[in-house]
């Protein structure tokens, strides 16, 4: 059973999300009404997934996410926001959050995002992923990077498809291999590159020229 921490300053939002997740067979291990509580509950309960509102009193969701990820780099945080253009979304995703949801998204999307996050995958619309990459590249002022020789041909293939926004299941189907094999290659590539999540992998895939501006694969070795 997937164990979830909900962090949001609105009681009605927390109640609605809790009912939605419980109906989907998940366990809500704790709720937090501000970032400080979120940090405390994350340390105490070690949830599989944290749903983190960015706009909260005392300690906002961005700083709470930073503290949680500093203490537990493998924490899986899905950002919640009211506005798709919230500038803090991109900072949270680059910091290590694994997903992003607008509060008026369809309920089924939230359930799918939590399930994917629990499996170490992301759920980002291509338009959101594009904005994240564009902002990351602009901030670093460097687009071109060489593909490290430490990556195997198959790891490059997988990194390319992660950069194109595909899930592990979709990559497995594209490469005609098992999902477990894909997860192994994704993990190996991310370990070699020092990445914490697939959003960071997508940014790097773009900077290496593995995908184009429309997130279509442009380089394949194998």
- Topology of domain 135-207 in CATH is Arc Repressor Mutant, subunit A (1.10.10)
State which CATH number among 3.40.50.300, 3.40.50.620, 3.40.50.2300, 3.30.200.20 fits the domain covering 3-123.
Answer: 3.40.50.2300
- The tokens of 83 are what? 């506005």
CA neighbours closer than 13 Å in the CB half-sphere of residue 218: 12
Residue 64: alpha-carbon gap to chain centroid: 16
The DSSP secondary-structure symbol of 191 reads: H
- Under 8 Å between Cβ of 147 and 156: yes
* C-alpha span between 56 and 63 (Å, rounded): 10
H-assigned helices in the chain: 11-23, 35-45, 61-71, 87-95, 107-118, 126-140, 153-163, 168-175, 179-193, 198-207
Whole-model pTM? Answer: 0.74
Tracing tokens 């704790």 back to the chain, one arrives at: 30
Sequence spans of domains, the chain = 3-123, 135-207
Residue 131: alpha-carbon gap to chain centroid: 14
Same fold, 3-123 and 135-207: no
- Under 8 Å between Cβ of 180 and 126: no
Per-residue pLDDT tens, the chain, 222 aa: give them.
Answer: 999 999 999 999 999 999 999 999 999 999 999 999 999 999 999 999 999 999 999 899 999 999 999 999 889 999 988 876 667 777 887 788 888 888 888 888 889 889 989 987 776 655 666 667 666 666 654 556 788 889 999 999 999 998 888 888 889 999 999 999 999 999 999 999 988 777 788 888 888 889 887 778 885 544
Residue 70: its pLDDT value, please? 93
Residue 141: its pLDDT value, please? 47
Residue 125: its pLDDT value, please? 59
């Amino acid at each position: 059973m997937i164990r979830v921490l909900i962090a949001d300053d609105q009681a009605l939002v927390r109640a609605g999300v809790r009912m939605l997740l419980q109906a989907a067979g998940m366990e809500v291990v704790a709720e937090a009404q501000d970032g400080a509580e979120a940090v405390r509950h994350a340390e105490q309960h070690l949830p599989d997934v944290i749903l983190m509102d960015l706009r909260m009193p005392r300690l906002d969701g961005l700083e709470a996410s930073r503290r949680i990820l500093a203490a537990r780099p493998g924490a899986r945080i899905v950002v919640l926001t009211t506005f798709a253009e919230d500038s803090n979304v991109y900072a949270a995703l680059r910091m290590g959050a694994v997903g992003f949801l607008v509060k008026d998204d369809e309920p089924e999307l939230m359930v799918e995002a939590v399930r994917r996050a629990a499996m170490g995958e992301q759920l980002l619309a291509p338009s959101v992923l594009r904005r994240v990459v564009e902002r990351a590249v602009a901030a670093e002022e460097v687009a071109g990077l060489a593909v490290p020789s430490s990556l195997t041909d198959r790891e490059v293939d997988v990194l390319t498809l992660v950069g194109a926004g595909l899930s592990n299941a979709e990559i497995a189907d594209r490469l005609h291999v098992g999902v477990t094999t894909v997860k192994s290659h994704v993990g190996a590539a991310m370990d070699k590159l020092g990445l914490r999540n697939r959003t960071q992998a997508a940014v790097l895939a773009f900077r290496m020229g593995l995908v184009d501006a429309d997130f279509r694969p442009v380089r394949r070795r194998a």
